[in-house]
Structure 1
Amino acid sequence: MTARNDHRRLGRELDLFDTDPLLGAGLPYWLPDGATVRHSLEEYVRAAERRAGYRHVYSPVLGKRELYELSGHWAHYRDDMFPAMDLGGEQVVLRPSLCPHHAVVYRARPHSHRELPLRIAELGGMYRAELSGVLGGLTRVRAIQLNDAHVFCTPEQVAEEARGALEMIRRAYLALGITPARYRLSLPGPGGKYVADPEMWRRSTALLRDVLDRSGLPYEAAEGEAAFYGPKIDVQVADRAGRESTLSTVQVDFHQPERFDLHYTGADGARHRPVMIHRSVIGSVERAVAHLVEEHGGAFPAWLAPTQLAILPVSGAELPRAEDLARRCAGRGLRAAVVPPERGTLGARVRDARLVPYQAVIGAREAAGGLVALRLRDGRRLAPLPADDVLDRIGALTGAHRAELWADD
């Protein structure tokens, strides 16, 4: 990866995010354009989850130390957690994971086999006590916004739910213009802090192998990469230097349902233990945006771009028409910005807007006829079209999260 593609430099150049010593290392803040990218990404995931039958919840970023002792995080993951804080005679901890909270949400109400699978999703904050030496940009941070979900299901439903999660990941990567580097079956390794239950590991590993085999996806097994409570499918992405990181995961967990005494009433009227599937479509928002910046060099897919349409009046005479077009864009939910003549010549303004997917040039002829001469980011120039037609097409493409810039009739 060249310095030109490094998201730490490019993200600041594009005014997406920044850091400040007063906030601390590993705690970046999002600027308006970066917040727009993040919001668009989060809304895409939420909508995809709703279509797939997930229901969204909110849970607190703090929990009592006992919560993480019960889940196993305190015993197996404590070195990566922030220290417990004394509060009113109790100890509370910034959560390192959302799964204990979702286990609590599940057990708050009785459940029948008829309700399963129960899919719970949240875009929630979690915190990792990363050492200063490994922090950098958005890829290694201490405060993480995670696209997380947990499916509570019967053992017979595990394979179908895991396959459904992989399909959601596949569709998201198409919309984002991301190509997986490889699929990895992450297994326990020697010397790690793992739950000591060989039969549990055998069952969950066999289930994930079957899911991968039936999906026809090539994969590699990797020891030492499992979660402490179970194996997982990791979807690996690579930067331009070939360095890999995990973006998306699917995990099978028999451990936490046991620890939290989760159950459902079966068709036989007896209590049964559900299986918990952990699933993240895009992983942490921070890492996803970092990868997208480097993958696209700031030229995001149109639906994700901070500014989707740059409106370029040729002269001051066309400025009122340009401002009217911007208002119409806002009414349609499109992100448009007028780049007025005082910003430079038309050529200079076109170059400055090179990362914007669409550029609407409005000269005297276009202003008089209610037309737009559209330029696409890939260099194509279209014949002048009625403004409403242009906005309809752009709205359809961005609303469908399409990768292409333009669809011809």
Structure 2
Amino acid sequence: MHDHRRLGRDLGLFDTDPLMGAGLPYWLPDGAVVRHALEEYVREAELRAGYRHVYSPVLGKRELYEISGHWDLYRDDMFPPMRLGAEEVVLRPGLCPHHALVYRSRARSHRELPLRIAELGAMYRSEPSGVLGGLTRVRAIHLNDAHIFCTAEQAAGEVRAALGLIRRAYADLGIRAARYRLSLPGPGGKYVADPELWRRATALLEEALEEADGLPYEAAEGEAAFYGPKIDVQIADAAGRETTLSTIQVDFHQPARFGLRYTDAGGRRRRPVMVHRSVVGSVERAVAHLIEVHGGAFPVWLAPVQLVVLPVGEAQEGRAYELVREALALGLRAEVAGPGRGTLGARVRAARLVPYQAVIGEREAAGDLVAVRLRDGRRPGGVAGAELLRRVAERARDRGGELWEPA
């Protein structure tokens, strides 16, 4: 594996600046493409799984986090409040309090449950400068977050479904889970003081893990959230260091704190269970891991440039730009690397991480063909330009890993 901090900068994916501050990386155009493709993948997967997407503000009144429990139990990891007139507002450390307010914005019936609310939203953590690094540990986090409001009987099934989403995403993205961890409270930590709450939540997670095709997991004390236990999906970086990427948490605490209710089939008022779930964790940490896993040679659908067209000489540049315009019209990311960028060999080497290279010489231009070179070294030979674009678009749409198969 590669170190994403070096490779990400070498490839022009992200960078930092002292004037922005430590732990606050910015995304360059190619990195923004990777990030956007990942975000779209997750949104589509969530829509297919029955999630509804919302937007919520990155600020909240201090009172909001006092109700949620963050202010008492998580304050050391939050940025200081800001005074606005007679009020204090805080950069949110998580999205869950906002989604609890979305849920309670109107009366809810059991017929609406499970209600799956998702958001790719920003949150902020006051991380010590000594632990910051690249994209894996930052202070401004964009989290693929969701909260499922359901009955107690539905909770284990929703946890299993979330595990299924995570495992499918990892298969599509080429991510390997290092291990699955059941994170429990430990001595000395700041946790909600409600033993029955912890017992019920832990039992639900254990039930879901046991029924998820015998998924192996390890229990770890001291790793729980302050409001409940969680399933952490651990990944390993280039140096073998483990971090958490995806999480699933069962929460009885915040529904009680916010007075969340639904009406059951008998007309009685009941309290829902809140399942917190993140399929790929933070966008920053997910992209960092993808850089390391793929070494910058991203799958077609994630690649910043999917097709580069290389005219051998100036006489072929017109056809090269025409082919790129056709590719862009199909939604592909394509560009021309013309003779002004050096010899053909130099341009081929510079584009070594691009999945598809299309070389146009005199013979190809005369026959409306391109000589195809694949990133993996194969050369399928002369192909009609339209056929190449069809194949690339198909691979990008299907998110397939194989670059080329016989027609």
- Tell me, yes or no, if the aligned pair for 1:256 and 1:276 is still in contact at 8 Å: yes
Describe the SS at the equivalent of 2:353: coil
**For residue 390 of structure 2, what is the aligned residue in structure 1?**
392
Correspondence 1:8-407 to 2 at 5 A? 8-215=5-212, 216-407=214-405
Classify 1:110/1:223 alpha carbon distance in 2 versus 1 (closer, same or farther; 3 Å): same
What is the Cα deviation at residue 134 of structure 1? 1.2
> Residues of 1 paired with 2:364 and 2:265: CA distance?
68
What is the Cα deviation at residue 79 of structure 1? 0.1
- Tell me, yes or no, if the aligned pair for 1:183 and 1:220 is still in contact at 8 Å: yes
- Tell me, yes or no, if the aligned pair for 1:176 and 1:403 is still in contact at 8 Å: no
Task: Give the TM-score taking structure 1 as reference length.
Answer: 0.97
Classify 1:408/1:263 alpha carbon distance in 2 versus 1 (closer, same or farther; 3 Å): farther
> Residues of 1 paired with 2:233 and 2:400: CA distance?
22
The ranges of structure 1 where at least 4 consecutive aligned residues each deviate by more than 6 angstroms after the TM superposition are none
What is the Cα deviation at residue 88 of structure 1? 1.2
Q: Deviations over 1:290-334 (max 9, x none)?
A: 111111111111100100111111111111111011101110110
Q: Deviations over 1:127-156 (max 9, x none)?
A: 000111111111111111111000001111
Range 361-370 or range 208-217, more displaced: 361-370
Amino acid at match of 1:141: V
- Tell me, yes or no, if the aligned pair for 1:177 and 1:403 is still in contact at 8 Å: no
> Residues of 1 paired with 2:235 and 2:384: CA distance?
41
What is the Cα deviation at residue 69 of structure 1? 0.4
**For residue 6 of structure 1, what is the aligned residue in structure 2?**
3
Q: Deviations over 1:209-242 (max 9, x none)?
A: 1111111211111111110111111111111321
Amino acid at match of 1:101: H
Amino acid at match of 2:203: A
> Residues of 1 paired with 2:174 and 2:285: CA distance?
15
- Tell me, yes or no, if the aligned pair for 1:154 and 1:275 is still in contact at 8 Å: yes
What is the Cα deviation at residue 93 of structure 1? 0.3
Describe the SS at the equivalent of 1:22: coil
Describe the SS at the equivalent of 1:384: strand
- Tell me, yes or no, if the aligned pair for 1:102 and 1:150 is still in contact at 8 Å: yes
Amino acid at match of 2:113: L
Amino acid at match of 1:363: G
Amino acid at match of 1:308: Q
> Residues of 1 paired with 2:180 and 2:372: CA distance?
40
> Residues of 2 paired with 1:387 and 1:230: CA distance?
56
Query: RMSD of aligned C-alpha atoms?
Result: 1.0
Describe the SS at the equivalent of 1:203: helix
What is the Cα deviation at residue 7 of structure 1? 1.3
What is the Cα deviation at residue 407 of structure 1? 3.4
- Tell me, yes or no, if the aligned pair for 1:174 and 1:403 is still in contact at 8 Å: no
What is the Cα deviation at residue 205 of structure 1? 0.7
The number of residues matched between the two structures is: 406
- Tell me, yes or no, if the aligned pair for 1:311 and 1:326 is still in contact at 8 Å: yes
Describe the SS at the equivalent of 1:161: helix
Amino acid at match of 2:135: L
- Tell me, yes or no, if the aligned pair for 2:22 and 2:129 is still in contact at 8 Å: yes
Give unmatched runs, 5+ long, in structure 2. none
> Residues of 2 paired with 1:75 and 1:118: CA distance?
28
> Residues of 2 paired with 1:115 and 1:372: CA distance?
54
> Residues of 2 paired with 1:322 and 1:45: CA distance?
34
Amino acid at match of 1:293: I
- Tell me, yes or no, if the aligned pair for 1:311 and 1:361 is still in contact at 8 Å: yes
Describe the SS at the equivalent of 2:310: strand
Task: Give the TM-score taking structure 2 as reference length.
Answer: 0.98
> Residues of 2 paired with 1:192 and 1:73: CA distance?
14
Amino acid at match of 2:275: I
> Residues of 2 paired with 1:170 and 1:380: CA distance?
31
> Residues of 1 paired with 2:223 and 2:403: CA distance?
39
- Tell me, yes or no, if the aligned pair for 2:233 and 2:244 is still in contact at 8 Å: yes
Classify 1:408/1:183 alpha carbon distance in 2 versus 1 (closer, same or farther; 3 Å): farther
Q: Deviations over 1:241-297 (max 9, x none)?
A: 211101001111111111101011100111111111101011111111111111111
- Tell me, yes or no, if the aligned pair for 1:76 and 1:193 is still in contact at 8 Å: yes
Q: Deviations over 1:168-204 (max 9, x none)?
A: 1111111211111111111111111011111111111
Amino acid at match of 1:248: S
